[in-house]
Structure 1
Amino acid sequence: MKLKLKSNFSGKAGVAKVAVSASLLASSLFINPAYAVNWNESGDAGQLLATAQEPLGNGPLRNIYGTVTNGADVDLYRIYISSPTTFSASVTGTFDSGLALFNSGGYGIYGNDDARLGDSNAGLPAGDPRGPQAVGWYYLGVFDINSTTPTSGNGVGPENFIAPNTAAPFTSIITASGPGGASPLTGWAPPPDATGGAVNEAYRLRLSGVSVVPEPETYAMLLAGLGLVGAMARRRKVFAEL
């Protein structure tokens, strides 16, 4: 009897260990910093929700490297914000960049021209009360702010501009408080004082609080691994009961 009791106890411990292993296997694919993703723009990211580019891989998304080919070019990325309180985005480049974040429906949340005084790189700081409030899908646009601005509706005039007019020093965080800010993104248009803008300007988009949803192949690998772990647990339990 004592032997059987000991055997059963060992079996339960083995099952528990296997369950822990399964949990670690699952979590490592999503939170392990070793799996941090650096994404290179594939071709040219689209400008609208239907054509936005979604970085692939698994783990936290740390950087996106891309190129603005001309002043009218906008790179819109579909990203999954897994930690709204720590979400941040900043551009490093040699052109006057702009950043704009939209929710899953294309409604503007907030944006920026210059992160700091005397710096033409845009940035969205972590912890801003105007930033994202919930975990989920968003769209982040990188563009030359002197050449184009987000619009809504069927027109491209100032009455359709999602962002408001701003004044120097252009470091403020702005919301979708322009004439077209109550409607979702439908296009981009040059502002009245537009310039020629950037030509083939590379940029680095640094992110925090963003995760890449694993590709289907990764899901399959995870499920296969969990299935194997489950089979091992059942086998251990059977042998423990003998």
Structure 2
Amino acid sequence: MKKVIAVAIGLLCVSSAAMAATWVEVDDAGDLPGTAQVPEGSGPLDGIQGTIGANEDADMYCITVPDAGMLVATTCGGATIDTQMWIFDENGVGISFDDDDPAGCGLQSTVTGAFLLGPGNYLLAISTYSNDALNAAGDEIWADSPFSTERQPDGAGAGDPVIASWNGAGSSSGDYFIALTGVEFCGGVVPTIEKSWGEIKSIYK
């Protein structure tokens, strides 16, 4: 009986390990919706490992969120660099941003599904402070502060919160690990931005 139980526990451990999946950045992930890296796989995605290779670098990944209420993405304990994290929809519309973790883990970042409209594919981006997301006019989509609060777009470019570029003013480079909860591998190819802001706004009425 003990042998049967031991075998069962062993199989359970193997099964649990098989379900856990971490995506390791391939080359350099793109930093805009049309070049975002799409992790290959299926089922739960528990982490993303990558590198900010230069101060002006930002990495963007496609993720699938089955339940917005379960999403947590954090670099707490997974980086020593001063990170920033961002969530955009598939068209590049800014949804949420965090510089320093609201719970106080330091200079790392945490974003959640607090501001998501529902389940679907989203774009998760990471940069270092203060490499910020800009719209087509070159305005920052989010203000620089407050630092320790997850926020919707509130910068000079909040009226047109579609990412077009980054300001390239990052503070450091280095490795990161984004721990993910409530995330699956991306369920489809992310389209290149083709809609005008007026068309996109009609989706979010």
TM-score for both structures, normalised by structure 2 = 0.76
- Please state how far the C-alpha of 1:99 moved relative to its aligned partner: 0.3
Asked if 1:176 is matched to 2:153, the reply is yes
Distance 1:213 1:68, change over 3 A: closer
Asked if 1:166 is matched to 2:145, the reply is yes
* CA distance in 2: counterparts of 1:214 and 1:110, whole angstroms: 21
* CA distance in 2: counterparts of 1:94 and 1:140, whole angstroms: 19
RMSD: 2.0
Instruction: Report the secondary structure of 1:121's partner residue.
Output: coil
**Percentage of pairs with the same residue:** 27
Aligned to 2:93: 107
Matched-pair contact (CA < 8 Å) for 1:85–1:133: no
Asked if 1:97 is matched to 2:83, the reply is yes
Matched-pair contact (CA < 8 Å) for 1:113–1:121: yes
Higher helix proportion (structure 1 or 2): 1
Matched-pair contact (CA < 8 Å) for 1:64–1:206: yes
Matched-pair contact (CA < 8 Å) for 2:98–2:148: yes
* CA distance in 2: counterparts of 1:118 and 1:136, whole angstroms: 29
Deviation digits for residues 79-114 of structure 1 (CA, Å, limit 9, x no counterpart): 111121100100121111000100111111111011
* CA distance in 1: counterparts of 2:171 and 2:98, whole angstroms: 17
Distance 1:119 1:58, change over 3 A: same
Asked if 1:117 is matched to 2:100, the reply is no
* CA distance in 1: counterparts of 2:109 and 2:44, whole angstroms: 21
Aligned to 1:151: 134
Instruction: Report the secondary structure of 2:62's partner residue.
Output: strand
Poorly superposed stretches of 4+, deviation over 4 Å: none
| Paired residue type of 2:34 | A
| Unaligned segments of structure 1, at least 5 residues | 1-31, 216-242
Asked if 1:203 is matched to 2:176, the reply is yes
Out of 113-122 and 78-87, give the one that drifted further: 113-122
Instruction: Report the secondary structure of 2:69's partner residue.
Output: helix
* CA distance in 1: counterparts of 2:32 and 2:143, whole angstroms: 20
Distance 1:57 1:182, change over 3 A: same
* CA distance in 1: counterparts of 2:100 and 2:25, whole angstroms: 23
Matched-pair contact (CA < 8 Å) for 2:99–2:129: yes
* CA distance in 1: counterparts of 2:26 and 2:123, whole angstroms: 16
| Unaligned segments of structure 2, at least 5 residues | 1-15, 189-205
- Please state how far the C-alpha of 1:213 moved relative to its aligned partner: 4.6
Distance 1:33 1:60, change over 3 A: farther
- Please state how far the C-alpha of 1:144 moved relative to its aligned partner: 0.4
Matched-pair contact (CA < 8 Å) for 1:59–1:214: no
Distance 1:134 1:118, change over 3 A: closer
Aligned to 1:135: 119
| Paired residue type of 2:108 | N
Q: Give the 5 Å matches for 1:193-232.
A: 194=169, 197-199=171-173, 201-213=174-186
